[in-house]
Chains A and B, each alone.
Chain A
Amino acid sequence: SAVISQKPSRDICQRGTSLTIQCQVDSQVTMMFWYRQQPGQSLTLIATANQGSEATYESGFVIDKFPISRPNLTFSTLTVSNMSPEDSSIYLCSVEPLAGSSYEQYFGPGTRLTVT
């Protein structure tokens, strides 16, 4: 199994500022994913972060708002830029299935963001 940590675990930020969320995995993985989960809602995929290439964003999410870095095979960051209260959510990273793991994705514990 993969162990994923995220920093910070939670934060309260003022509107107009930016927050960078870190995701660290204890093994090398090719694909990492960033999801958003609004309170009491389902998870929505923001983007796929592959090492060595630009992140691929899903419909409704853009690089200027959610820039992503993927400097190596165990680490990624997601920045939430120019925040507004609508960005208040839990942000989760996950990693691709490990070889032979039947499509099981591993998720980090999430970063709970509140924008005031």
Chain B
Amino acid sequence: ENQVEHSPHFLGPQQGDVASMSCTYSVSRFNNLQWYRQNTGMGPKHLLSMYSAGYEKQKGRLNATLLKNGSSLYITAVQPEDSATYFCAVDFSGTYKYIFGTGTRLKVLA
């Protein structure tokens, strides 16, 4: 069964800290991994795309690494507006069908 797990489930860093979260996956076929963030009451918004083990991507204060069966996401100098739920999603089909994890809920303390 395809599945994605997140760690930790909840993160509460102080403003200015580095927030670190990760996901691990077990899928029948790996095509790519995406990171999304979701604010309450809204649809997920795409952050980063990852393609193969060892792949690293930086975008602003976001930094992600793709490992053999997972991915890590770091957010540097977190701000209150970074508070959201962060999901990774794995394409297990090669046809844009994604399985999402349960996410890491980030709440930045001012």
Which residues of A are interface residues toward B (Cβ below 8 A)? 4, 31, 33, 41-45, 48, 58, 92, 94, 96-97, 102-110, 112
Contacts and interface: CB of A to CB of B under 8 A. Distances in A.
A61 to B, nearest CB: 13
Contacts of B43: 4, 92, 94, 107-110
Contacts of B49: 102-104
A45 B98 CA distance: 7
Contacts of A96: 96
Interface of B: 4, 32, 34, 41-46, 49, 87, 89, 91, 95-103
A42 B100 contact: yes
Contact of A105 (B4, B41, B98, B99): B98
A91 B46 CA distance: 18
A41 B42 CA distance: 14
Contact of B103 (A42, A58, A92, A97): A42
Contacts of A97: 96
B96 A105 contact: yes
Contacts of A45: 97-99
For B45, B91, B98, the residue with the greatest tally of chain A CB atoms inside 10 Å of its CB is: B98
A94 B98 CA distance: 11
Nearest to A6: B43
A8 B97 CA distance: 25
13 contacts: A33-B97, A43-B98, A92-B44, A102-B49, A103-B34, A103-B49, A104-B34, A105-B96, A106-B46, A107-B44, A110-B41, A110-B43, A112-B41
A103 B96 contact: yes
Contacts of B101: 42
